[in-house]
Structure 1
Amino acid sequence: MRDQTNEIEDLECVFVDATAEPIKISYAAIKQITKNFAQVIGDGGFGVVYLGGLQNGMVAVKKLDTLKDFDDKLFLEEVKCLKKVKHKNIVRFLGYCVDSQGELMEIEGKLKIVEVQQRLLCFEYVPNGSLHHYLKEKTHGYEWNVCYQIVNGICQGLHHLHKNCIFHLDLKPANVLLGAHMEPKITDFGVSRCIDEEQSTMVTKNVFGTLGYIAPEFIDKQHISFKSDIFSLGVIMINILTGHSGGVIENWQEIMNVDCPQMKRCIELAQICVDSDPHKRPSMDDIIRTLNETETMIQKDLPIIREPRNDPESSVYQVVQRFQALSIQTLRENSRVDDIYMELNVLECILEGSKKPSNLSYRLLQFITENFSGERRIGTNQCPEIYKGILRSVTVQRLTSRDDHVDDHMFHQDVSGKAMAQHRNIVRFLGYCSYKEERPIEKDGMTFMAGNCERLLCFEYLSNGSLDNCLSDASCGLEWRARYEIIKGICEGLHYLHGKRFLHLDLKPTNILLDDNMVPKISPPFEVLLDMKKRLDGSMGYLAPESGRGIVSVKSDIYSFGVIISEILTGQKGYSPIDNVRTTDPAKMKIPLARAYLI
């Protein structure tokens, strides 16, 4: 067996020589360059991508999932496609690993050593993350020249694939990476197909790819062709033009107000690329010809842009910094590192929407809050305690001891309710944890085992804080339109909750959070409406008058909403409308009416 050092040196040679062919690499060498698979940087349908380091730069290693239905035929098909292509707009393939490893597995209640086939692919590391990430973070601006460069580069890469008789079949922003100078590179050939030169279409038994980017004829008839990729390309162009990833926004072209002739040409191209009739879509030759005609319209001097890889606020930058700080020895000593990063990857998928909210481990939440560090706590007097995670978009709520009266059944019922509440004006629920631990306690010279229960909830983090921060100086100078949109958003969120038979019961400005675009999102608590009379724990000034008689209903939330509207309009906190509104009779307050006025 070849020495690992020699193998890594060979990989270094391939890395620096753009003309070199991909090589075979052992599993042991892969483990060494990835520091025992320490840093997850991506997750696909068939595997996980890890960051690796060589002397001359970084690499990305895709480890295919041995438990999923990914057979040798698909692996060989992917390698075949990757070996055929070399282009500046396609991620460079450096090597592969096919190796068997003995692993301990429990089978029928007994531990056995099982030979597991390991299949891995090694690529150049593309430093500025994915186009999906770029569109999602929106922290680096959208200079048109940069957007055009990305559109043009994707088209050049896809043109090269089609010239080499390859259907990509899963083209989407997450599968377009951005290089050192923001040049796009197409990646992930897991479902791609190499075809014969005389072949132009195929029929498959299964539909695969990503909804929103799959061509209609593929869904309806399982027909795939070069025009399938053209449809996906059109959706990506619309994503870039509008600044939003996902499927095609309804009437998207109507919201485009442009004077740039080149941008108008790209809008026209995108429209014909997403035509439902594949015969009406252009070929890649047609698209390249059209783009070449527009080259004279582009400014010669590209703007200086703030690249994600150089931005300390970017998660792309933070991932690399964390990886470089890790030592191989530390990873060997801590066998849980792999599991932590796998769990982090699951949480990232929940954030992106590819997975549903789920049960998160206590050690994961402990890890992302740095063991519930005081430095990560948001507000010192808040109850429950809230912590900002090391992931930019996550907060963790740690329920306090006063919630001990809530048993497991009630807690899980509450969690189920939060998981059901999915709306753009409701703070996204990501997961939960109910952790029990027994600790020895000494009393009167005797040792007792005392149970300790931790209950935690995980939500998205919203950067603009709460509405409460805006309620001063005439709502912090917010234009009337912005204040109106905040009022309307709260109304939409509350209407959704009531439609799902939820009551909020503590609606107030501190429980309304604002995202990057000042879109309001209602945060918990809210609970399923089970009865109309109960003890109410709310906030003075926002409690409806009838709550003093123990009466709770949807009208209780309406009253709180009215107080919030008054505060937004006046810019004054603690504004009480009791003496200024026409009625405090709950029977006369109706959310559908309020919603109708706002719409």
Structure 2
Amino acid sequence: MDRQASTSHIHVLERILLDENAEPTDLPLSLLKGITNGFSPAHQIGRGGFAEVYKGVVGKGMVAVKRLSRTFAVHENKFQEEVKCLIKAKHKNIVRFLGYCADTQGKMEEYEGNLVMADQRNWLLCFEYVCNGSLDKHITAATCGLNWRQRYQIIRGICEGLLFLHKKRILHSDLKPANILLDGHMVPKIADFGLSRCLGEEQTRYITQNLWGTLGYVDPEYIRSRQISFSSDMYSLGVIIMEIVAGIRCYREDEDVIQSWMIRLEALEGDIQLEQVRVCCKIAVECMDLDPKKRPVAQHIVNRLDKTASADYLDETSIGNSLFQPWVSCPREQPGERIGKLAAGSLQVDVEEHSEILEDVAESIEWLHFQDGQQKIDQLPSRGVQDTKQKVNRCGTSISSCIPNVFYKLNKLNIFHRKASRNLHSIDMHTLEKLHNIKIFTKEELKPIINSTNLIGRGVFSHVYKGYVDNTQVAVKIPFTYSSLQNLEFENQVVIMSQVSHKNIVRLIGCCLEAGSLMLVYEFVSNGSLDEILHSRDKVMPLNLDVRLNIVAESAQGLAYLHSQARAKTVHGDVKSANILLDDDFVPKISDVGITKLIDLSDWRYSSILVGGGSYIRDPVYVQTGMLTEKTDVYCFGIVILEVISGKKPNHYDDSSCGLATRFLDVHKEGKKATHLFDMDIAVTAGDLEILGHLAEIAVECINFDADQQRPTMTDVAERLLILNRSRRPQAV
């Protein structure tokens, strides 16, 4: 493009930027390259799994240029759908769309030893630049950060923006604080329409084959049914509202939150701002109802917020620098956790009682990070506990905005239990060498095994290699770890796994703890995974009903042992057929125990995978709360049972576009038998159908949405399966 044409395009973009009524237009690639200095790293202001965002300079103004990556894996219709939604979405609470670029260029690439002309797609979107960044960077507890008027303004703005989208028949599908930007006056603007859909006038929902979204914000009903609707956006909105009000993602109304705001506002019952806090909490809880039909619509929420707004607060021009209060550095709590209300008196006792431990702990505070790239907790002084006492005493009798969070985090890690703290922080080679049943390997000893010819497994969390050590066949697992916290957790998990001894759990033989070469060495289980055998195309090893029943019965015994009988009781966290291995006699052995504890699940690399590719076995309650419990394992084991009795993968869809779990749940609700859903290869006799019916009943109980009241424990499941298994033994061949 010549200089004159380039200048002309810049003037066009500058005019659109200055004229709020101007329509978005197509923009040449050369222009977007020029204003971002060739997509320079110095101009990069954001990066995600599917795009990078750059700041561009246009005259005296600035824009944000979103450059989509991995376009080869994205259908062109998806980009067109995003542009279509953006053009329709013109509202003060939606980030303003200026233009787009869909450029395809031919480029010579080497393919299988030959040079071929390949299409290189350049898909870019241009937006107004929103200076205060995303909402997630501004969320704190009620005790600090944004004042209530700012938070209420942000909540109202988000709701009004969402109402506009829904009136235009647009599903956002990925609402979260990271996708809400704040301008110079802290006015919220909904952004990132990459997963959005424009619905027809008569259309109320959209069915997807793959799951997309963000853990903690995605609607559990969408996880269950693959159907996304306006109520799905309302669920995400509820999570966001509660997070703005409370500073954490929680899923019920909490009087502690009201109390915190009463203290900060110095308000009495009946105060208009305190009433607004209550209304927002109630709206959030209603939006997060697991029954989509009970969730309010956006119009109803906006009406309620308008009704509770005082006359002086309605003046939007009052939102400015005059309302900013001095910010207190306050770290953000992790999802599902409660902010501990520790008064100075109790903190003083803790400091005095645990002074020796605090001296050890002080140096380890530096690796306590909060999720989403938030600030580190301020380091406690390493000079000694006296400084720590002084820091606590300075808090006075009020609830400190920072110290309780430090103590809360340390308490969650059992730092204040002397034995536990020693295990967590001081485990080293010397300690592990005392574990008689665990061998410490050097990197050199395992190096011959770690090569591509020995690779037998590649998963989300690790690579697995097969080889021999001391004439014994082993499996070497290399977990993906990214921080010193995971490294310390790795050592802790070795100690825990050394105490696990059960015939239905893969035995840990040893480990390598050398820096940068963390490895786990397990017994080798010869027949591969239950997933491979059930779903392989060639069906080399078909499993009859008796074998399948024994597999689920003994697997349940292994999980029940982990939950209630092991010396170090633990949640598995990733129960699935791929993690149930079978030996030469088809005896099941559960693998990957404790692996999820080594992974930073707040990392986008894993959250996107968990909610994208593999979330068909994710417990909806876990998706909602972000908390792994024994009942999460129960849910996932219920899905394994459904796989075993149907012969279908969990993400298998029939003509009704319903997943495996949904089909079984629907049949159960209708009071019908699930005979048509069973694998006909194993449903031969009336006795077979009876056993399969009992298995289906147990599985449906396991995947019940009411985790606390309706789901059984793994011990109960194991006992019932044991009875069924014994009833078949006389018939086994």
Per the normalisation by structure 1, the TM-score is 0.56
Find the counterpart in structure 1 of residue 204 from structure 2.
Answer: 200
2:252 is the alignment partner of 1:238: no
Find the counterpart in structure 1 of residue 37 from structure 2.
Answer: 35
Query: Per-residue deviation at 1:302?
Result: 4.6
Q: Please list every run of 5 or more consecutive structure 2 residues that lacks an aligned counterpart in the other structure.
A: 263-273, 336-363, 432-483, 496-733
Query: Per-residue deviation at 1:471?
Result: 3.1
Structure 1 residue corresponding to 2:136, chosen from 108, 128, 132: 132
1:548-563 aligned at under 5 Å gives the runs none
Find the counterpart in structure 2 of residue 427 from structure 1.
Answer: 367
| Cα contact 2:142–2:257 (8 A) shared by 1 | no
Find the counterpart in structure 1 of residue 6 from structure 2.
Answer: 4
Deviations 1:26-45 (A, max 9, x none): 11111100111122212234
1:86 & 1:500 partners in 2: Cα distance?
A: 53
1:370-389 aligned at under 5 Å gives the runs none
Find the counterpart in structure 1 of residue 188 from structure 2.
Answer: 184
Query: Per-residue deviation at 1:135?
Result: 1.8
Deviations 1:223-276 (A, max 9, x none): 2111111111000001100123xx435764554324411111111111111111
Find the counterpart in structure 1 of residue 321 from structure 2.
Answer: 304
Query: Per-residue deviation at 1:470?
Result: 6.0
| Cα contact 2:179–2:190 (8 A) shared by 1 | yes
Find the counterpart in structure 2 of residue 491 from structure 1.
Answer: 416
Structure 2 residue corresponding to 1:46, chosen from 43, 50, 58: 50
| Cα contact 1:231–1:275 (8 A) shared by 2 | yes
2:286 is the alignment partner of 1:272: yes
| Cα contact 2:132–2:181 (8 A) shared by 1 | yes
2:187 & 2:374 partners in 1: Cα distance?
A: 31
SS in structure 1 opposite 2:231?
helix
SS in structure 2 opposite 1:202?
strand
Find the counterpart in structure 1 of residue 299 from structure 2.
Answer: 285
Query: Per-residue deviation at 1:495?
Result: 2.5
2:418 & 2:76 partners in 1: Cα distance?
A: 48
2:80 is the alignment partner of 1:76: yes
Q: What is the Cα-based RMSD across aligned positions, in Å?
A: 4.1
Find the counterpart in structure 1 of residue 386 from structure 2.
Answer: 472
1:30 & 1:279 partners in 2: Cα distance?
A: 44
Find the counterpart in structure 2 of residue 172 from structure 1.
Answer: 176
From the superposition, tell whether residues 19 and 209 of structure 1 become closer, same or farther in structure 2 (CA, over 3 Å). Answer: same
1:250 & 1:195 partners in 2: Cα distance?
A: 31
The range that moved more, 191-200 or 470-479, is 470-479
Query: Per-residue deviation at 1:200?
Result: 1.6
1:538-557 aligned at under 5 Å gives the runs none
From the superposition, tell whether residues 218 and 153 of structure 1 become closer, same or farther in structure 2 (CA, over 3 Å). Answer: same
From the superposition, tell whether residues 80 and 494 of structure 1 become closer, same or farther in structure 2 (CA, over 3 Å). Answer: farther
Find the counterpart in structure 2 of residue 394 from structure 1.
Answer: none
2:12 & 2:173 partners in 1: Cα distance?
A: 32
From the superposition, tell whether residues 229 and 125 of structure 1 become closer, same or farther in structure 2 (CA, over 3 Å). Answer: same
Where relative contact order (Cα < 8 A, 6+ residues apart) is larger, the structure is: 2
Structure 2 residue corresponding to 1:24, chosen from 7, 23, 26: 26
Find the counterpart in structure 2 of residue 99 from structure 1.
Answer: 103
The range that moved more, 76-85 or 44-53, is 44-53
| Cα contact 1:146–1:302 (8 A) shared by 2 | yes
**One-letter code of the match for 1:491?**
F
**One-letter code of the match for 1:130?**
S
Query: Per-residue deviation at 1:528?
Result: 4.1
1:88 & 1:475 partners in 2: Cα distance?
A: 49
SS in structure 2 opposite 1:94?
strand
From the superposition, tell whether residues 498 and 289 of structure 1 become closer, same or farther in structure 2 (CA, over 3 Å). Answer: same
From the superposition, tell whether residues 497 and 274 of structure 1 become closer, same or farther in structure 2 (CA, over 3 Å). Answer: farther
1:104 & 1:29 partners in 2: Cα distance?
A: 24
1:494 & 1:242 partners in 2: Cα distance?
A: 34
2:308 is the alignment partner of 1:294: yes
Query: Per-residue deviation at 1:503?
Result: 3.7
| Cα contact 1:15–1:124 (8 A) shared by 2 | yes
Deviations 1:440-460 (A, max 9, x none): xxxxxxxxxxxxxxxxxxx99
1:137 & 1:57 partners in 2: Cα distance?
A: 34
1:202 & 1:522 partners in 2: Cα distance?
A: 40
Structure 2 residue corresponding to 1:261, chosen from 254, 270, 275: 275
Deviations 1:127-175 (A, max 9, x none): 0000012227999822000000100000010010001010000000000
Find the counterpart in structure 2 of residue 14 from structure 1.
Answer: 16
**One-letter code of the match for 1:50?**
Y
Find the counterpart in structure 2 of residue 502 from structure 1.
Answer: 427
Query: Per-residue deviation at 1:212?
Result: 0.9
From the superposition, tell whether residues 32 and 505 of structure 1 become closer, same or farther in structure 2 (CA, over 3 Å). Answer: farther
1:504 & 1:249 partners in 2: Cα distance?
A: 42
1:207 & 1:496 partners in 2: Cα distance?
A: 40
1:253 & 1:274 partners in 2: Cα distance?
A: 17
2:287 & 2:172 partners in 1: Cα distance?
A: 16
Aligned length: 378
2:429 & 2:257 partners in 1: Cα distance?
A: 35
| Cα contact 1:91–1:124 (8 A) shared by 2 | yes
| Cα contact 1:427–1:460 (8 A) shared by 2 | no
Find the counterpart in structure 2 of residue 143 from structure 1.
Answer: 147
**One-letter code of the match for 1:129?**
G
**One-letter code of the match for 2:304?**
T
Query: Per-residue deviation at 1:464?
Result: 2.4
SS in structure 2 opposite 1:491?
coil
